[in-house]
Homo-oligomer: A and B are copies of this chain.
Amino acid sequence: MQDPRINRLARILVRDSLKVKPGETVLIQANDQAKPLVLSVYREVLQAGAHPRLSLGLDEAREIFLREASERQIREFPQISLYEAKHVDALVAIHAPGNLKDMSSVAPERSVARARVLKPIQEHLTEKVRWVLCNYPTPALAQEAEMSLEEYERFLFGATNLDWAGKKQGMTRIARAFERADTVRIVGKETDLTLGIQGRRFVVASGECNMPDGEIFTGPLEDATEGRIYYEFPAIYGGREVFGVRLRFEKGRVVKAQAEKNHRFLKTMLAADPGAKILGELGIGLNEKIRRFTKDILLDEKIGGTVHLALGKSYPETGGKNKSAIHWDMIKDLRRQGELYLDGKLVQKNGKFLI
């Protein structure tokens, strides 16, 4: 018998996240590792009266391609995949890596070149198609999270298999409280940072596009951030971990940046373009079932009692206007020592909301 937690997750993805309707075509993107969830989603899509379509890749094939393809092959545009993207209504993208380091011997510029070729397909899927991204528990993800597979399964399904409609209500109340305020002040270990949020929208993310989910986020005013922040979790970008990041902001911009490890990489990223020194996102983690940092941004940014601040590009739907080639989420833990203030009023203490 199949693990009932997998069936429950599939039902959430198809019914709650995508709200699949009869007659729609739903693309299920995954690899062979995710087979039990793929089959469960496939069945749920059928039961919703829609048409499931499998798009199964192999991690090993991707590695072979990126390592061995000629320049001409890398530049080849897969017209069939674009046609496919244009003829589906919804997408379930399942992340089930067999080995998080399988790209170690691939030259990054080849990956970037291929991603550039595939961009029209990716853009169509993210902009014109309803999509949800989720994790499926694999030994590789468990290893990265420093858990056994069984422990990781409990952890992951514990964070995904929730009453998302119910959660949305509570999260919306918190978002409305933030939207009524002009400033957010974050106080914590070596941290006292104030952000302007006047007129900005807080998006409630309660399972529509990410699974697990559980955050509200906005784009802070681009010229208002003042103060300093210390991140106790490593800041991860493209697989690189930067430890002990300390940033000082004046008039919205980073004016001082330090890291205990990989300092040079931090400086390089901040110099990427003018927008890279400005915050594009303030997110508030609201998933109380996620307590452990697992080096996986999909989960880490939702840890209840944390906030995350992203350098770079903002999401236009929040009212944020910052532009940049980067979007680098860094997560600040407020659970041991932390306070959040809205217009000077304490609303969260040591990770627990008072509102």
Contact = CB atoms under 8 A, between A and B. Distances in A.
B61 A32 contact: no
Contact of A57 (B47, B54, B64, B72): B54
Given A49-B70, A57-B54, A64 B78 contact: no
Contact of A56 (B56, B60, B78): B56
A298 to B, nearest CB: 24
Q: Which of A68, A70, A80 has the most B CB atoms < 10 Å from its CB?
A: A80
A41 to B, nearest CB: 10
Copies in the complex: 2
A80 B53 contact: yes
B68 A43 contact: yes
Given A32-B56, A83-B83, A51 B39 contact: no
B65 A53 contact: no
Interface of A: 25, 32, 35, 38-39, 42-43, 46-47, 49, 51-54, 56-58, 60-61, 64-65, 68-70, 72-73, 76, 78-80, 83-84, 87-88
A49 B73 CA distance: 7
A65 B78 contact: no
Contact of A78 (B32, B51, B70): B51
Contacts of A25: 80
Contacts of A68: 43, 46-47
Contacts of A80: 25, 53, 83-84, 87-88
Q: Which of A32, A53, A68 has the most B CB atoms < 10 Å from its CB?
A: A32
A16 B140 CA distance: 38
Contacts of A46: 64-65, 68-69, 73
A14 B322 CA distance: 50
Given A43-B68, A46-B73, A68-B46, A38 B53 contact: no
Contacts of A38: 58, 61
